[in-house]
Amino acid sequence: MSEALTLSCLPLFPLGTVLYPGGVLPLRIFEVRYLDMIGKCHKTGAPFGVVALTHGSEVRKPEDGFASEAFNTVGTLATISSFSVPQPGLMVIRCAGAQRFEISNREKLKHGLWIADVTRLEDDQSIQVPDDLRAAANALGKLIKSLQERAVPPDQMPLQPPYRLDDCGWVANRWCELLPMPLELKQRLMELNNPLVRLELVSDILERTGIAM
């Protein structure tokens, strides 16, 4: 059981993507409402919450009347692993996905930043990849090896070590990030509490596309 199962006033970052535990998320921050938030998170080492949008866009635009965002109630904590300010008004960060959470209460502040009280969800149970799903793990291992052979810089790798190719949740999560799937499907898979079922569903997709046979 994890400690501190609840977090109060967690700043949220609604995005057009789904962050998975163990995942990598590069971001370029230029909106005023997020520059201050990210600066404070970096300074204090605090996480923020990534939630997938169901309505609205990542950047508020005058032409759409600054339409309000709507987003899923289950998201993932993000911790900043690298941070730079290449020019005034621009932050470039790289984040790591941590624990999933569920929003219990949310509030939109005057300048447009969302904060929420959240309950952390349990980490995936560690389940070894069964023999009938090894093709998915083997295909992911080949992809990692190919990226390493091409000498892709660590800060540009779409996956970060440790590479847990024997773990159902880790393998499923990485494929969910890499495969071109609708946002709604990525969200549903992330919310699944059974990592073995998640990997089974991902393996079906891989077989249909011929990636893992």
DSSP secondary structure string for all residues of the chain: --S--EEEEEEEEEESS---TT-EEEEEE-SHHHHHHHHHHHHHT--EEEEEEEES-SS--GGGTSPPPEE-SEEEEEEEEEEEEEETTEEEEEEEEEEEEEEEEEEE-TTS-EEEEEEEPPPPP--BPPGGGHHHHHHHHHHHHHHHHTT--GGG-SS-SS--TTBHHHHHHHHHHHS---HHHHHHHHH-S-HHHHHHHHHHHHHHHTS--
Measure the CA–CA gap between 187 and 212, rounded to whole angstroms. Answer: 22
23 and 112 part of one domain: yes
Is residue 125 included in any domain, yes or no? no
Mean pLDDT of the chain: 91
Rg from Cα positions in the chain: 18
12 and 104 part of one domain: yes
176 and 100 part of one domain: no
pLDDT digits (tens, 9 = 90+) for 70-105: 999 999 999 999 999 999 999 999 999 999 999 999
93 and 116 part of one domain: yes
90 and 138 part of one domain: no
Indicate which CATH number applies to the domain containing 162: 1.10.4060.10
Indicate which CATH number applies to the domain containing 45: 2.30.130.40
112 and 31 part of one domain: yes
Confidence of residue 7 (pLDDT cuts 50, 70, 90): confident
pLDDT score, position 25: 96
Q: Note down the domain range covering 24.
A: 6-120
- The tokens describing 70, both together, are 């709507």
Domain count, the chain: 2
- What is the pTM (predicted TM-score) of this model? 0.90
Last residue of some domain: 120, 139, 171?
A: 120
